[in-house]
Amino acid sequence: MQRFIRLKREFEKLNQEPIEGISCYPKSDNFENFVATILGPNESPYSGYIFQLSIDISEQYPFEPPRITFQTPIYHPNIDNKGRICMDLLNMPPKGNWKPTIGLKKSFRCYTMFVKKSKS
């Protein structure tokens, strides 16, 4: 129940304070699966492109990161051919930097910086 309340609050905050170029909505009322549409950031090789992402939330969230995958094909050195993102923020320690305080909004902000810095 606590997980559901947190996810609902995070989703409401995303709607109240949206991130430019990113929209997100739950696939169902249980807030376990989300769909995000992300515009390729300006000043990046992806400017003008639109990407759809799938966000799956585990029962252990926020103690485990959301599983975010690209549904739209993308060529990026840190995204595999199945759309899985290799970003420290989205992995558990000791190899990753996920913390329960990060949440969905910060994950999306990091995505934007991550893609902007791409040399693809």
110 is catalytic: no
Residue 106 CA to residue 117 CA, distance in Å, equals 17
Reported as a single tens digit per residue, the pLDDT across 86-108 is: 888 888 988 889 999 999 999 88
Give 9-61 as a DSSP string. Answer: HHHHHHHHSPPTTEEEEESSTTSSEEEEEEEPPTTSTTTT-EEEEEEE--TTT
Domains of the chain: total: 1
Q: Is 68 left (phi over 0), alpha (psi -120 to 50) or beta?
A: beta
Active-site residue (options: 15, 25, 80, 86): 86
CATH code for the domain of 17: 3.10.110.10
The pLDDT tens digits of the residues spanning 30-79 come to 789 999 999 988 888 899 999 999 999 999 999 999 999 999 999 988 89
Per-residue pLDDT at 97? 92
Contact call for residues 64 and 92 (beta carbons, < 8 A): yes
pLDDT of 118: 64
Range of the domain at 25: 1-117
